[in-house]
Structure formats: C-alpha cells, structure tokens
Amino acid sequence: ASAAAPSAVEFNFKGYMLQKAAAVNQALDAVVPLVYPERIHEAMRYSLLGGGKRVRPVLCLAACEIVGGRERQAMPPATALEMIHTMSLIHDDLPCMDNDDLRRGQPTNHCVFGEPLAVLAGDALLALAFGRLADPASYPADDPVPPARVVRAVGELSHCIGAEGLVAGQVVDMESTGLGIPVGLDRLEFIHLHKTAALLEASVVIGAIVGGGSDNQIERLRRYARCVGLLFQVVDDILDVTKSSQELGKTAGKDLASDKTTYPKLMGLEKSREFAEELLKDAKDQLSEFDPIKAAPLLHLADYIAHRQK
C-alpha cells in the first residue's frame, strides 16, 4: 500500500467520481427513453435516475480501465449493473418484502406508482439490463468488444444475481429477520457476500472481462471486489447505528428496530471498525500488482467506501 501512496496523493478522486457518474447518468438517461407505454418507463426512470452514487457502474468502468480497456467499452455493462441494482432495491422495498417507503430520500417506487407497476418496472429493468449487456449494438462500432467476452460477461452477471447470488442473500436475510435471536457471524457474512458483495463483484469482474483482462487479473479483481463488498455492508451497519435518517436519506436505526443482525450488534462498534480496516487492507493488497496510476481509481474507491459518511 505504501508504494501506491505517492500517486494516491496526486489522484483527484472526487473529480474522477463526478466525471464518471455524469457519464453514467447520461448513458442511463438515454437507455430508458419515455416510449409507449409511458407509465412503465416513467416508473423505471423514477428509480433509475433518482440519484445514487453509481458505485457499481464506476467500479465496472474502473475495472475495465485498470486492465487496459476503454470507458466506452464498459458503459453498456456499467448501465446494466445500475439497472440490476435499482431493480433489486425496487423489489426489496415492496410491501411483501421490506415494506420501505423511503429510499435515497424519496418515496419508494411502489409508493409513487403502486405495487403492480413497481413489480413490472423491476422486471423490465432486469430484462433491459441483459438486453443492453448482450446486444452488440450497445457497444462502440469503432472499438468493439469481442462477442466471446460479452457472452462470458452475461454468464457472470446471471450467476451473481440469481438464486446462487443476490437472490440467495435476500432470501437468507428474509429468513433471518424477526426470529428474535441473532444469527451467527457465518450467516451474516453469507447474507452480505450474496446480497451486497455479489453485485459489486459482478461489476468489477465484468468490467475486467470486457476490458480484456487476463484470468489472473480477473481473479485478483474478484477478490478485491469481495472485500470491498463486505466492507460496504460493514460500513452500512456502522452508519445505521451512528447516523440519523436525515443524514442517510433512508430510515436510520431500522436494523436495530427490526431486530436485524448487524456487525455492530454481533461484535460491537469498535471491533466492527477494526474488521472494516482489515477488509480495506485486503482489498488494496489485490491491486498491488497493477500499474499504480491505473490502480488509483479502484484504490480510492475502496477508501471511499470505507470512509463514507452516508
């Protein structure tokens, strides 16, 4: 980590994030035009464009660039990943699931559009994500991505978000809530590795695949993403205990109130913070064999996720 320190100082992380997020937002806006039937596209756009830090797409773009690919090659998967993330939030917030009415400081999708449209908007975003990812027409004609890479990326995405990935995390989370007894550390880790880390992993790995990374590079980045994913959740748990709803833009203390197991509850606040630091170090170690200048974005993204305040 010390070898990367000099370039780390020079790197303008905030500017990088803003520039990438703006590019992603522009691409997302273009990808869901307000066509017939308008209402369903309004519902999709409402959640997709309603803010969010675009962590997953930026991870995808950064991973593509760290292995030598171009940003525009990774833009179709980057937008796909944000669509998947958004659909999982829409469905997660449904009355039959977490029954949340606030998300990113705004009323949740089903509160605005009703439950049926929220289900459909989620389904449609899921479909559109795969459509964008798979369709050769999504990629720059003068800088194409070989079809074999795209097929591999589709395989990666479908694996990470299905019943062995994201959905598995949601199910185990659901089954572990409201039992009145705390779940063990193993189960907590299973939930987060699947519910949060799987999609972050897909983001990084797909970026690296599309950018033409070697198998060795892809696996290093996979490990980086897993650490960052778990880190993301540990920090989320810490913030839930230490911040207000207004600061977070979502209902704070919900985990405590709902009797949900969290890291602070299981290991205490201090130990949770130590665990977060360990994960951060492990994540950064995976980047040590990459060009330090090209590695700067992913390095800072890990720092950002570890030290964010909301």
Minimum distance, C-beta of residue 59 to other proteins, in the bound complex (Å): 19
Return d(Cα 163, Cα 17) in angstroms, integer: 32
The helix/strand count (H/E) of the chain reads as: 17, 2
Return d(Cα 218, Cα 215) in angstroms, integer: 5
- Closest to 236 measured CA to CA, from 225, 248, 222, 246: 248
Minimum distance, C-beta of residue 27 to other proteins, in the bound complex (Å): 17
Minimum distance, C-beta of residue 8 to other proteins, in the bound complex (Å): 37
Q: Which is nearer to other proteins, 129 or 298 (CB)?
A: 129
Return d(Cα 236, Cα 197) in angstroms, integer: 12
Minimum distance, C-beta of residue 255 to other proteins, in the bound complex (Å): 18
Give residues in contact with other proteins (CB under 8 A).
32, 35-37, 39-41, 44, 87-88, 91, 94, 96-97, 114-117, 119-124, 126-131, 134-136, 146-148, 150-152, 154-155, 157-159, 161-164, 167-168, 170-172, 174-175
Q: Which is nearer to other proteins, 121 or 295 (CB)?
A: 121
Q: Which is nearer to other proteins, 170 or 272 (CB)?
A: 170
Minimum distance, C-beta of residue 174 to other proteins, in the bound complex (Å): 6
How many Cα atoms are found within 13 Å in the side-chain-facing hemisphere of 216?
A: 2
Q: Which is nearer to other proteins, 41 or 53 (CB)?
A: 41
Q: Please spell the DSSP secondary structure of 175-221, one letter per residue.
A: HHTTSSSPPPHHHHHHHHIIIIIHHHHHHHHHHHHHTT--HHHHHHH
* Token pair 């798979």: residue: 134
Minimum distance, C-beta of residue 11 to other proteins, in the bound complex (Å): 35
Q: Which is nearer to other proteins, 2 or 36 (CB)?
A: 36
Q: Which is nearer to other proteins, 202 or 280 (CB)?
A: 202
Return d(Cα 127, Cα 117) in angstroms, integer: 15
